[in-house]
Amino acid sequence: MERTDLPIAVLDSGVGGISVLRELVRHMPHEDFLYLGDSKNAPYGEKTPEEVLHITRENLKMLLARGIKALVLACNTATGAAARTLRAEFPDLILVGIEPALKPASLLGDRPRVLVMATPLTLKQEKFCTLMARFCDDAEILPLACSGLVELIEAGQTSGEKLENYLKTLFFPHRDTKIDAVVLGCTHYPHVKETIAKILPAGVAILDGSEGTARETRRRLAEKGLLKESGEGRVTIENSSGDERLLSLSRQLLERE
Ligand code: DGL
């Protein structure tokens, strides 16, 4: 098989990366995608960086053995913990990661106040501290660790009272702060964007990095002459847990706008 015809692998700790897959398909409709949700090991955000690096490396080796032309690490936590090391270990691989969308958020007006929702591990990592240092003159950045939110989403709670109560408690300490933007710094969170918007005051911008990641993936493939420009692309979704409920949730989330 020609290298151009191989699928693009998309990896996340569960159903989160489906929010990135949606953008990838939109930007590259002729490509085949192999999505692996590693729900067996979720949540990554409560693990150590070493554990996340080990798990991500093992998943990558397995995907490479099956034949892929690129890897999209559709997980902010795994990108922070593993992308740099894996790029050094696999120098020929096109590896695109995702990071909290601080750059577009910092452009929203005069020193906007930006709340960054992410997993505890993402916020603890050097990669995030460097990113925050880069934009702290342009925006007031308030990191907000969201322990337990990934578990709710993996359980299929993408709307409803339980999710609303969780979010109300999460935002409570910021009730008297005027927030200009919220960055969804975990790929699971766009799946609950409507509920987040409902709870926040009107006019707060909500951003995520999925479109930027899709554009970057397209650019990197084109640069290497590996972009497929005809034929109908196929999407294959797998989950390490083997749980049919998670596969069906993944498919439903992919169809959602
Ligand atoms: N979806 C992942 C991210 O973007 C993390 C979820 C997890 O904690 O497993 O950070």
Distance 207 CA to ligand 1 centre (A): 16
Which atom from ligand 1 is nearest to the alpha carbon of 186? 4
Active site amino acids: 75, 186
Give me the mean pLDDT over the 61-79 stretch.
98
Q: Residues 202-237: pLDDT tens digits?
A: 999 999 999 999 999 999 999 999 999 999 999 999
Residues facing residue 95 across a β-bridge = 71
- Residue 43 preceded by cis peptide, ω within 30: yes
Give me the mean pLDDT over the 78-90 stretch.
98
What does the domain layout of the chain look like in residue ranges? 3-98+210-255, 102-208
Gyration radius of the chain's alpha carbons? 18
Q: Residues 112-171: pLDDT tens digits?
A: 999 999 999 999 999 999 999 999 999 999 999 999 999 999 999 999 999 999 999 999
The response to whether residue 12 sits with its C-beta less than 6 Å from ligand 1 reads yes
Structural domain 3-98+210-255, CATH architecture: 3-Layer(aba) Sandwich (3.40)
The response to whether residue 77 sits with its C-beta less than 6 Å from ligand 1 reads yes
* Of 10, 11, 13, best ligand 1 pocket probe by most atoms within 8 Å of the beta carbon: 13
Distance 129 CA to ligand 1 centre (A): 18
For residue 1, the model assigns a pLDDT of 83
CATH 3.40.50.1860 describes domain 102-208: yes
Judge whether 220 and 29 are in contact, CB under 8 Å: no
Strand order in the sheet with 140-145: 140-145, 113-118, 181-184, 205-208
The response to whether residue 119 sits with its C-beta less than 6 Å from ligand 1 reads yes
Fold matches, 3-98+210-255 and 102-208: yes
Distance 12 CA to ligand 1 centre (A): 7
The response to whether residue 250 sits with its C-beta less than 6 Å from ligand 1 reads no
Report DSSP state, residue 82.
I
For residue 195, the model assigns a pLDDT of 98
